[in-house]
Structure 1
């Protein structure tokens, strides 16, 4: 009883069996009533035929003729006068005395049914009046033994029983295959999820239909693929964290031991202490960025959107970065379309552009130009940051937003990067409902494009 196929099978059987039982009950009742009505109408029609003959010639000869006709059939006839006295009968009269009393109310010309209780009485009966000169001259009583009617109904019941049994058997067979057909893919999905729970993500499910079960199978396969990717990413992430933490800690410990154990000049001490401070700052920055990513992964950081005038916002960015670019003999140009409004978190937006501009500064040479451009197009705000730096190799472009991914491994320590900056930028942009694209060519430059939906609410 714990199997879904059994539960579905029992449920289907009860529902279908109930429907079949109700339909068979009403159909049986309707057929029986129709058959009895047909027998009564046939009996009354036979009586009316005799009545019509007797109305033309109501004498002993014609009465004997009618009696003779019924003596060869499975029905019986009794003919009486208008007061109920028996003139002739095809069977002993004592069996029918309770039926042949003169009726208290007038009988219609086409006759009427006297007895229709086939399941309780030994006979069904009808009576037809013999009308001569518009007066009742006698009556024709017709009787039929209900044993024949019961035999007919019994035969009908047997046919219904056979049909019902066959229907139930077919229903059970159909329900068996139907429930198996429904639950078989569910069982396979259960086995697949069990494999996933054990860490086996290479599951494959047959896509046998385009309905909800097919969609569920695709979703489970997609889940397995995503979990496999996440497991791989987690392993790489932990390995990268281990490496990133080990490297500055090794520097800090190594140079601290040198300063502690050796007698060094003031100049050497300052040199080694500067390295320790630099690596400590690098470690602090790494931990801070890891905390930021953890908050983003858990959706615990808050985006507090406000209406931002991008002209004023980028004017402040220009004032803040222009001296730094000027110091490095670079040109910083801001082109912002007038009256450009964006609903965003100003602090998070500032963090996005500071990181992008910082990357442009690090990877560009003296004499380079860094250009920030903002405009509105089709209810979307586009912002690009373009530099003329060293560029990004085409093979690295798909991975630059991955955590701890670095394009130039040899210059990483000199530039102080952690490999998390672009990952954080991407998360912040997506948190604003935007998207970020990158176009780059080696030794030509790189262009990042941010696209935000216009939000007027």
Structure 2
């Protein structure tokens, strides 16, 4: 069953359920209250009749004034029979001729209620449902018996019930119309979302969902479009990654093959053979380093439990990263300024975080003229590490690319060092950004949360 049909049925079903419950409750309430109202009206009318009768001379009861008074009201009331019975059980007046069945019923009702002030009973005369009301009052000088035909009341009730059913039918039709309108808007968005998913499953990420609604479907469509954009970016990044890695691997392999062929053919003298062997070793080492970096980056990004987090002192991690680059510093005659006055605790994988800082420091050493400066600042629950050099800084448009895989600067090698550093920082929940200093040089900022014991 489609969602459209489910929406139709749910709307109509809800309306029908509400109306059925309403009709059942209202029908029972209406009938009870209508009969209760008839009982009250009959009692008031019986008191009026009793007053008219008892106000006359008891020795000579004249019912003509009562008959004329009753005839003036007859068109306004529902009563069928009005009967006056004396205290001894004699019928003194009836507005209609009573047959045997009616007389028997009246006498039975009189015998059962003559000791009460008033009473009610629902029965039938000539197979017609009736409400019997007997009123004797406190004096019980006369008893007024009113027989009301309930058939007219029930007929009115049935008409009212049919009116409610017609209203329910029109309401269901109206609800179905609204359901069609709403479902078309909902289903339209879902169908467009389905088409976009089918396109994405075929690796086509140019299909976006055009949904203008602000409901949950619109929110899902918006998030889906964002997801498609991210997947497309990732897909393009993977394509560039494969292109770059193939280029990075092809160049040294071509050189190694060329030197190997020359060695095999013996066209090199001894001095050139040694040089060729050294270059083969250099290219192999470079390939090995490149492959290790690629493997390392893949593990960082894909293996869930690759990191072993523990409480560490950030200053100590940076000191160890500086020591790893000590030989590079000496060869470049570059100084590092780092004199922390605090102990900042972080939750980290000490080995991996040291690697990330080492890559950033190494990059700064490469482009520095004389000095690399490292500072740590703490404010409330956050820290900020600043690593900067006094070199030429980043070229225009370069800052947005430096963390991309295989992007090389002016003197870059593999183009993976900063990518690995960013991936490690991301896994720690730290943020890294790069910028040019106002004065000459480049600056890296690493921000994160300070670890505090729970």
Q: Report the TM-score, using the length of structure 2 for normalisation.
A: 0.89
Residue range with higher mean Cα deviation, 207-216 or 255-264 = 207-216
Q: Equivalent residue for 1:328?
A: 332
Matched residue of 2:136: which SS? strand
Q: Equivalent residue for 2:37?
A: 38
Q: Equivalent residue for 1:418?
A: 414
Q: Equivalent residue for 2:92?
A: 87
Matched residue of 1:75: which SS? strand
CA contact (8 A) 2:377 2:384 kept: yes
Shift of 1:25: 1.5
CA distance in 2, matches of 1:251, 1:312: 42
2:426 aligned with 1:430, yes or no? yes
Shift of 1:216: 1.0
Q: Equivalent residue for 2:26?
A: 27
Q: Equivalent residue for 1:62?
A: 62
Q: Relative to 1, partners in 2 of residues 1:377 and 1:50: Cα closer, same or farther, differing over 3 Å? A: closer
CA distance in 1, matches of 2:275, 2:340: 45
Shift of 1:226: 1.1
Shift of 1:400: 0.5
Shift of 1:319: 4.6
CA distance in 2, matches of 1:172, 1:60: 72
Residue range with higher mean Cα deviation, 346-355 or 328-337 = 328-337
CA contact (8 A) 2:337 2:374 kept: yes
Name the Cα RMSD after superposition. Answer: 2.7
Q: Equivalent residue for 2:81?
A: 76
- Choose the corresponding residue for 2:286, options 282, 285, 300: 282
Note the residue ranges of structure 1 that are not aligned, 5 or more in a row.
none
2:376 aligned with 1:400, yes or no? no
- List aligned pairs for 1:50-449, cutoff 5 A: 50-57=49-56, 58=58, 61-67=61-67, 70=70, 73=74, 75-93=80-98, 94-96=100-102, 97-101=104-108, 102-109=110-117, 111-115=118-122, 121-129=128-136, 134=139, 136-300=140-304, 302-365=306-369, 368-408=370-410, 411-412=411-412, 417-440=413-436, 444-449=440-445
CA distance in 2, matches of 1:311, 1:234: 36
CA distance in 2, matches of 1:385, 1:119: 109
Residue range with higher mean Cα deviation, 84-93 or 260-269 = 84-93
Q: Relative to 1, partners in 2 of residues 1:143 and 1:306: Cα closer, same or farther, differing over 3 Å? A: closer
Q: Relative to 1, partners in 2 of residues 1:59 and 1:121: Cα closer, same or farther, differing over 3 Å? A: farther
CA distance in 2, matches of 1:318, 1:4: 63
Q: Equivalent residue for 1:47?
A: 46
Residue range with higher mean Cα deviation, 11-20 or 319-328 = 319-328
CA distance in 2, matches of 1:317, 1:169: 76
Q: Relative to 1, partners in 2 of residues 1:177 and 1:317: Cα closer, same or farther, differing over 3 Å? A: closer
Shift of 1:169: 1.9
Q: Relative to 1, partners in 2 of residues 1:231 and 1:319: Cα closer, same or farther, differing over 3 Å? A: closer
CA distance in 2, matches of 1:431, 1:453: 13
Aligned length: 444
CA contact (8 A) 1:364 1:389 kept: yes
Q: Relative to 1, partners in 2 of residues 1:422 and 1:311: Cα closer, same or farther, differing over 3 Å? A: closer
Q: Relative to 1, partners in 2 of residues 1:273 and 1:375: Cα closer, same or farther, differing over 3 Å? A: same
Q: Relative to 1, partners in 2 of residues 1:80 and 1:443: Cα closer, same or farther, differing over 3 Å? A: closer
CA contact (8 A) 1:382 1:451 kept: yes
CA contact (8 A) 1:207 1:217 kept: yes
Q: Report the TM-score, using the length of structure 1 for normalisation.
A: 0.88
Residue range with higher mean Cα deviation, 14-23 or 325-334 = 325-334
Residue range with higher mean Cα deviation, 370-379 or 284-293 = 370-379
CA contact (8 A) 2:313 2:345 kept: yes
CA contact (8 A) 2:312 2:345 kept: yes
CA contact (8 A) 1:5 1:183 kept: yes
Matched residue of 1:372: which SS? strand
Shift of 1:69: 5.0
CA distance in 2, matches of 1:27, 1:440: 79
CA distance in 1, matches of 2:332, 2:126: 114
CA distance in 2, matches of 1:405, 1:117: 101
